[in-house]
Amino acid sequence: STVPHRTLMPARLDMPAHTASWIFGEPAAVSNCTHVLPEDPNDAKNPFKARDKLALDISSVRALEVAKTILEELAELFPDKFLHVGGDEVDYRCWYTMPKIKSWMQEKGFQPVDA
C-alpha cells in the first residue's frame, strides 16, 4: 500500500544577515557596514557581494520592531508550526566595526565570535 506523505516547506525570512535590501525602506534597522568587504578578493570587487555583508543593527530598537512586525505577519500568512529565519552567515565584522553596535554588545556582555 502507498502511504501518503507531505513535504513541509516552511516560510523563510533570512536574517539578521542578508538584509541589505531593508536599508532602503528601514535604514535605522540595518547596520550600514559597507566598509567591511568580503575576504575573497574576487568577491570584494563585486558590489553585490560587498552589500551582502550588511546585517540588521542588533542595537537598534527599530530593527527589533521591524523584525517583530514581519515575523507576526508571516505567522498569520503561514500558520505552520515552523518558520525558518536563517540566523547564519552573519559577518560579525559588520557589528564589531560599528562603534554603536560594538558598544551595545559590550554593555550586553556579548563577546566577539570567530565565524
Q: Which of 63, 59, 66 has its CA nearest to residue 110? A: 59
Is there a catalytic annotation at residue 39? Answer: no
- Which three cell numbers mark 11? 516560510
Residue 104 CA to residue 65 CA, distance in Å, equals: 17
The upper half-sphere exposure of residue 29, i.e. CA atoms within 13 Å in the direction of its Cβ, equals 21
Catalytic residue among 65, 76, 89, 107: 89
> Which sequence positions are flagged as catalytic?
89
